[in-house]
């Protein structure tokens, strides 16, 4: 609520033209290796004050509570170890990577 909701809004719809809705992206992104890295490396996640373990729990919570697409049973949960592995590598071109991931995932559009 304190660190993420101001931009993402309580239901994840965001602010049109400013913060994109994450309701249709969380599950499709979490289903691919590149998408999982993106969810951790996006500036709002990577640069937050949360510890790696806390960020993993917030991402899992977002998938369970803000996604319009239900969590598929086989979808792996994030762990602090997975977050730590990706977090130190900054995304060079956030918008371009996001656009490519959305285009590759019909459900995310
Ligand atoms: C200042 C506004 C802002 C704050 C605060 C913020 N975000 Fe974001 N977030 C964005 C924007 C804008 C995007 C779209 C990608 C980009 O341009 O960074 C995004 C994208 C994301 C994504 C990728 C999903 C997608 O569809 O792009 C995740 C995951 C995410 N944010 C998590 C968080 C978490 C977790 C927090 C709190 C710790 C947080 N964000 C705080 C603005 C914000």
Question: Ligand 1 centre from 72 Cα, in Å?
Answer: 22
Residue 81: exposure state from Cβ atoms within 10 A (0-12, 13-18, ≥19): exposed
- Number of alpha carbons in the 13 Å side-chain half-sphere of residue 7: 11
Residues present in the chain in total: 109
Mean pLDDT of the chain: 95
Q: What is the pLDDT of residue 108?
A: 78
- For a ligand 1 pocket test, name from 42, 58, 101 the mutation site with the most ligand atoms within 8 angstroms of its C-beta: 42
Environment class of 55 (CB within 10 Å of its CB; exposed 0-12, middle 13-18, buried 19+)? buried
* pLDDT higher than 90, residue 71: yes
Structure confidence by residue, pLDDT tens digits, 97-109: 999 999 998 887 7
Residues of the chain above pLDDT 90, percent: 91
């Amino acid at each position: 609520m304190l660190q993420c909701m101001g931009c993402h809004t309580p239901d994840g719809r965001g602010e049109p033209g400013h913060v994109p809705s994450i309701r249709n992206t969380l599950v499709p992104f979490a289903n691919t290796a590149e998408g999982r890295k993106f969810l951790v490396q996006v500036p709002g996640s990577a640069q937050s004050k949360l510890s790696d373990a806390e960020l993993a729990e917030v991402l899992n919570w977002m998938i369970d509570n803000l996604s319009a697409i239900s969590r598929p049973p086989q979808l792996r949960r994030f762990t602090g170890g997975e977050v730590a592995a990706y977090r130190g590598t900054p995304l060079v071109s956030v918008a371009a990577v996001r656009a490519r991931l959305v285009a590759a995932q019909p459900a995310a559009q």
